[in-house]
Chains A and B, each alone.
Chain A
Amino acid sequence: MTTLLISQHSSNPLEAVSSDPRNVRYRRVLREARARQVAAEEDPSPSSEDQISGYAPKDDMHAYWGHLAQVTPVISKVKQRYGRKAAEVTMNLNNNIVDLDDDMDSDDPLVLKDEPMGFDDEEDHDAEEVSVDEESDDEQEEQENDGRDSHIEDSDEEFTILSKSEEDRQMILDEIRDLEAAVPELEESYRLVDRLGTGTFSSVYKAVDLFYDKWDNRPWQCPHPPGSSAHPQSVAREPGSKIFVAIKRIYVTSSPERIKNEISVLEDCRGCRHVSQLITAFREKDQVVAIMPYQRNDDFRDFFCSLTIEGIKAYFRCLMRALRDIHSRQIIHRDVKPANFLFDSRTGMGTLCDFGLASRMNTTVPGPCLHLPASPSHPHGRLRARNEYDSEHIKKMQREARAKNHWPSDRVGYPQNDTRPNSKANRAGTRGFRAPEVLLKCGNQSGAIDVWSAGSILLFVLTKKFPLFQSNDDVEALMEIAAIIGSKHMEKVATLHNRTFSTNVPSVTATGMTWREFCEKQNPEIYTPPSPKPDFYPHADTPTSEEEHHQDLDNAFDLLEKLLHPEAVHRITPRDALYHPFLAQSVGDDEFFPHPFGKGVCAHLHRIDDVTEQPSVLIETEKGQTMKLLENGQGLAIGNQPCEFHQDFVFL
Chain B
Amino acid sequence: MSTTIDNRAPLANRATSMSLGQKWARAASSTKRPHSPEAYIDAAVEFKRQRAIGPNVSAPKHKDKERRHTERAQKDKEFKDKYSRAFPTFTFHFDLSNLEPDTGLRKSLEARITQLGGIIDDFFSKDVTHLITNQKGEGDDDADKENNPKGAISKMILTVKSPSKSRTRVVVEDSPIYGLITKAMEWKMKTWSTAKLDSVLSRCLEVPMLTALNPSRTINALQLTNPVQPHRSLARLLQSERVHGSTERDPTQKRYDFTYFSRGSYWVLVEDMRQELATIAAHEYEVTKGRDSSVRGSWPVAYCHPHARGPFIPFDDREKRRWERTRREEMEQQDERAQEQKKLLRLEAMKRKARAQVQSKVPGDLRRSASMNNLHRRSVLEEQDFGEVLGDDNIDSANASGYLGSGTYVAASGNSVSITSTTGTTSTAGYSRSRPLPPSLRAQIGNEVTTSRKLASVTKDGDGKNTMGPPAYIPTRSGLRKSRSTNSLRLPKREEGSKPGYCESCRIKFDDFKIVGVHVSISQHIDYASST
Contacts and interface: CB of A to CB of B under 8 A. Distances in A.
A28 B499 CA distance: 49
Given A252-B520, A422-B278, A412 B272 contact: no
Given A418-B279, A483-B312, A499-B270, A411 B520 contact: no
Nearest to B298: A476
Contacts of B507: 123
B261 A410 contact: yes
Nearest to A286: B529
B502 A125 contact: yes
Nearest to A418: B278
- Interface centre among A467, A483, A513, by most B CB within 10 Å? A483
Given A499-B272, A502-B268, A506-B295, A410 B262 contact: yes
Given A253-B504, A256-B505, A465-B309, A479 B263 contact: no
Nearest to A471: B300
Interface in B309-332: 309-312
A614 interface: no
B267 A483 contact: no
Given A412-B269, A499-B280, A507-B301, A407 B504 contact: no
Contact of A518 (B304, B496, B499, B509): B304
Contacts of A495: 273
Contact of A475 (B265, B281, B502): B281
Contact of B529 (A252, A258, A513): A252
A513 B302 contact: yes
A467 B251 CA distance: 41
Contacts of A412: 260-261, 267, 269
A165, A256, A479 — most chain B CB neighbours (10 Å): A479
Contacts of B525: 252, 286
A479 B299 contact: yes
Given A414-B269, A518-B304, A522-B306, A421 B263 contact: no
A468 interface: yes
Given A256-B505, A468-B310, A505-B299, A414 B254 contact: no
Interface residues on A, range: 35 or more
Contacts of B300: 471, 476, 479-480, 483, 507
B271 interface: yes
Interface string A633-650: 000000000000000000
B290 interface: no
Given A397-B273, A474-B281, A467 B310 contact: yes
A255 B529 CA distance: 10
A400 B269 CA distance: 12
B471 interface: no
A417 B279 CA distance: 10
Interface stretch (B178-186, B208-216, B486-494): B486-494
Interface string A439-457: 0110000000000000000
A320 to B, nearest CB: 25
B504 A254 contact: yes
B501 interface: yes
Contacts of A285: 529-530
A500 interface: yes
A610 interface: no
Interface string A107-118: 000000000001
Most buried by A among B259, B300, B496: B300
Contacts of B260: 409-413
A478 B268 contact: yes
Interface string B240-281: 000001000001101101111111111111111111111111
A414 B504 contact: no
B279 A470 contact: no
Given A118-B504, A518-B311, A503 B273 contact: no
Nearest to A123: B507
Nearest to B271: A500
A396 B361 CA distance: 100
A470 B259 CA distance: 28
B516 interface: yes
B272 A407 contact: no
Contacts of B252: 407, 411
Contacts of B355: none
B504 A255 contact: yes
Contacts of A77: none
A126 to B, nearest CB: 10
Nearest to B259: A416
B444 to A, nearest CB: 14
A413 B267 CA distance: 10
A269 to B, nearest CB: 23
A470 B310 contact: yes
B352 interface: no
A251 B516 contact: yes
A494 B268 CA distance: 13
B305 interface: yes
Interface in B506-521: 507, 509, 516, 519-520
Given A133-B499, A521-B306, A167 B282 contact: no
B251 to A, nearest CB: 7
A420 interface: yes
A414 B282 contact: yes
A408 B499 contact: no
Contacts of B87: none
B264 A409 contact: yes
Contacts of A393: 273
B503 interface: yes
Contacts of B493: 167
A524 interface: yes
- A-B pairs, 4 with minimum CB distance: A286-B529, A255-B504, A165-B490, A413-B258
Given A409-B263, A414-B282, 13 more contacts: A135-B494, A285-B530, A409-B260, A423-B278, A470-B310, A470-B312, A475-B268, A479-B268, A483-B299, A503-B266, A505-B267, A505-B299, A507-B299
30 contacts: A135-B496, A168-B490, A251-B516, A286-B505, A286-B528, A368-B274, A409-B260, A409-B267, A410-B260, A410-B261, A410-B262, A412-B260, A413-B261, A414-B259, A414-B269, A417-B257, A418-B279, A423-B278, A475-B281, A479-B299, A480-B300, A483-B302, A484-B302, A499-B280, A503-B269, A504-B266, A506-B266, A506-B295, A522-B304, A524-B306
Interface of B: 245, 251-252, 254-255, 257-285, 295, 299-302, 304-306, 309-312, 488, 490, 492-494, 496, 499-505, 507, 509, 516, 519-520, 525, 528-530
